[in-house]
Amino acid sequence: MRPSVLPIYELESAVVGALRAGGRLIVQAPTGSGKSTQIPQMLLNHGFLNGGEAVVLQPRRLAARMLAKRVAEEVGSALGDLVGYQIRLESKVSAKTKVRFVTEGILLRQMSFDAKLRGINALVFDEFHERHLYGDISLARAIQIQQTTRPDLKIIVMSATLDAGLLREYLAPCEVLVSQGRSFPVAIEYLQRSPNFDQEPVWDVAARECERVAGLTGGDILVFMPGAYEINRTLQAIQGGRGLREFVSFPLHGELPPEQQDRAVARTQARKIIVSTNVAETSLTIDGVTVVIDCGLARQARFDPHRGINTLLIEKISAASADQRAGRAGRTAPGVCVRLWTEREHGTRALQELPEVKRLDLSEVVLTLKSSGIDDVFGFPWLEKPEVKALERAELLLADLGALAG
């Protein structure tokens, strides 16, 4: 699809008008509408980046790199020239870079040593509905900077699904623009009986369902699994199945080398099966997918009070995440989503994911804020205030470690 016909371009004049009239904007648009690649180009094409750059925050390294590559191709630039990216231990930018895709920690560190964000004309917070801790903190700091030293700074918050009411109040005054996008109907199927993954592992159930639905459409299949281990076991089960020999299969997760990640999303002559973590839920659009097999699980970081650390747990995804995953099957044609749980069980799932600020240890963030000169973390303008006990626990730990001495 040519960029100019993507659904987000229905909002182009409204986006430009809102940013010329004010400094804050919320864009709500479904995955596949083009917001992640085209909004930065609108800033570039309409003169918002003269003398500066746009920094686009992505929750995941894989998405930051792939989106930068895509936008660079669309504007006819070598990656690292007009468009680049910066993630942990990897940077592809230059003095000519006008659009820089970064992960959230990169911007927060930049804010700590340059409170005026010199050279940055616009901040774009993409996939904000994921509510990562550093995303929340970076947005709060951006608002503070805009209110004090940089009234010219443009702040754009984008998401496929978010609580626009909460954000509208937090960012006021701001405008909210909504794109309905374009998608095809997706038939949702549930298992008839609750699965017992102890008796039949989730990867075997997923492979069996792949074989069952492979002939229902002529497109590719996207399978969601919680992590690399489950992905590898699923690929083994798929490759051992007789009914899937016409398919080529690929893993997709953040720990893969870049060339393997690129291979998973590239077009192929044969039909393919991509087995992915939730990186394919919203951050990336994979063309050609008409079937989604959703295990309903994801690895979530959560504070373990017994061990006193954040730990990764495999947990059930929310109904909102399940809807996002299902939508991947309807981007280019009518599709099918098979959920590996029952319809009755679906009604018991949380509506939304719990924000990280409500479930993670805050010590690192508290230290980051204090090192930036923000001593009163209780009075910090949080989008959603963490529990007082969580902040007190963080300060106590930092004091015990001597991190707050002096």
Tell me the CATH architecture of domain 186-346. Answer: 3-Layer(aba) Sandwich (3.40)
What are the residue boundaries of the structural domains of the chain, listed by start? 3-178, 186-346, 366-400
How far is it, in rounded angstroms, from Cα 31 to Cα 237?
Answer: 29
Do 3-178 and 186-346 show the same overall fold?
Answer: yes
Q: Is 97 helix (H, G, I), strand (E, B) or coil?
A: coil
CA 105 to chain centroid: 14
Q: What is the pLDDT along the chain (406 residues), one digit of tens a residue?
A: 556 678 899 999 999 999 999 999 999 998 888 899 999 999 999 999 988 999 999 999 999 999 999 999 999 999 999 999 999 889 999 999 999 999 988 999 899 889 899 999 999 999 998 899 999 999 999 999 999 999 999 999 998 877 778 899 999 999 999 998 777 899 999 999 999 988 999 999 999 999 999 988 889 999 999 999 999 999 999 998 778 888 999 999 989 998 999 999 998 999 999 999 999 987 788 889 999 999 999 999 999 888 888 999 999 999 999 999 998 998 888 999 999 999 999 999 999 889 999 999 999 999 999 988 899 999 999 999 999 999 999 999 999 989 886 5
Q: Is the pTM of this model over 0.85?
A: yes
DSSP string of 36-69, one letter each residue: HHHHHHHHHHTTTTTTSEEEEEESSHHHHHHHHH
Q: Is 184 within 8 Å of 219 (Cβ atoms)?
A: no
CATH tag, 3-178? 3.40.50.300
